[in-house]
Structure 1
């Protein structure tokens, strides 16, 4: 673990930007930084919540392990907080978080983070805003996926990566076919078949893990029709 220097950090959250110099020093003293490589676990499901996790750079998958299979709940990109709900709830992590690419993370002691919320109303407001945005994004994603058939789900996931994660119609998919199936809520066989169909119809181009959306308007229509 490395010690961050919050005052000079170029990746501060909007909330941290609302702290005064003394509060930034307090945050700095009670935080540590770590770099996680692809596939390394940041947070383990059912472990105690001792820290707020702030993703400074990189990308992680948020997933849960059920009795029969893994379920990927969503993808979280920097900058974003994890473990806010657990910190203010039952102090247990209800999901795991795994790096999908090299990811820089700050671990902030929960009691110090809570004290900063109590001290600084502007900091608290930005934290609530962050929680609200995350909740709405997850809500809309889960509702949209649940209402679609398989082709609509795959189109929706591809657009999700292009428009919300990478902000580009060409990207390297960070998930395996099985993980992509878990995110879409369908089988691996269905994912492979539909991706092949989209490729043949020139809606997308696939080269290994590199995917280019060639006709995002048509994909949007497929997604909207479900």
Structure 2
């Protein structure tokens, strides 16, 4: 990452939207903006927590080691918070964040972020709600890994990504996603995902163009998510 001459607009991210207006000058003085390229690591699993990041532009994947493989925890876009999983008594990042495309991130040192939470009660409350929602999503994902067949996990992933990122004018989910990243996101091997993706393409459920996915039959995709395998 390199320091960026382009600064965030102080109104797009999770923090700026929820801060008191009187606190924004302090935010402007304390922020550090960094330009990222595709593949840039924003912070590393196991590294010491120095602060938190917010995505101003570009998409990012959050992932962690899973044995000898990688498990993608979530994908995030502009406005999202990164590094919050490292808050607490341990102060080590339990995950890695990697840029999927060129973008801009905003960094706040830990002391300033802690002070911000103490002053801005609405931000603190919404962050608590965010943690609760994230925990529920993680629990559902672990249940799906244990009980849902790969087709269902692919269907659930594409449905969720469509809701999160929206769609292009051509109807594709608005995030470029390699097959390997999708496999890591649903907890499947590349070979299994490749085979199932081909089946879903051949039967007209989805369409693929490069690294983009289009849902052609949303009802069928939804039915696949209802098959728990038990």
Answer whether TM exceeds 0.5 for this pair.
yes
Cα distance in 1 for residues equivalent to 2:36 and 2:45: 17
Secondary structure of 1:171 counterpart = coil
CA contact (8 A) 1:172 1:209 kept: no
Name 2:39's counterpart in structure 1. 39
CA positional deviation for 1:177: 1.9
Name 1:174's counterpart in structure 2. 176
Name 1:204's counterpart in structure 2. 206
Distance 1:127 1:3, change over 3 A: farther
Name 1:74's counterpart in structure 2. 74
Q: Which moved more, 1:130-139 or 1:109-118?
A: 130-139
Tell me the alpha carbon deviations over residues 47-72 of structure 1, each in whole angstroms, 9 at most, x when there is no partner. 11011111122211111124412221
For structure 1, the 5+ residue unaligned runs are: none
Name 1:130's counterpart in structure 2. 130
Secondary structure of 1:141 counterpart = helix
For structure 2, the 5+ residue unaligned runs are: none
Name 1:190's counterpart in structure 2. 192
CA contact (8 A) 1:16 1:24 kept: no
CA positional deviation for 1:104: 1.7
Cα distance in 1 for residues equivalent to 2:78 and 2:135: 16
Distance 1:123 1:206, change over 3 A: closer
Name 1:50's counterpart in structure 2. 50
Matched, 1:110 2:110: yes
Matched, 1:218 2:216: no
CA positional deviation for 1:78: 2.4
Tell me the alpha carbon deviations over residues 173-205 of structure 1, each in whole angstroms, 9 at most, x when there is no partner. 533222221211111111111111111111112
Cα distance in 2 for residues equivalent to 1:102 and 1:5: 15
> What's the RMSD between the two structures over aligned residues?
2.3
Q: TM-score, normalised by structure 2?
A: 0.86
Secondary structure of 1:205 counterpart = strand
Q: TM-score, normalised by structure 1?
A: 0.88
Tell me the alpha carbon deviations over residues 146-188 of structure 1, each in whole angstroms, 9 at most, x when there is no partner. 3201221222222222223335651365332222212111111
Cα distance in 2 for residues equivalent to 1:4 and 1:122: 28
Distance 1:141 1:103, change over 3 A: farther
Equivalent pairs, count: 224
Cα distance in 2 for residues equivalent to 1:67 and 1:133: 26
Distance 1:199 1:11, change over 3 A: same
Distance 1:211 1:175, change over 3 A: closer
| Regions of 4+ moved over 4 Å | 3-6
Secondary structure of 2:55 counterpart = strand
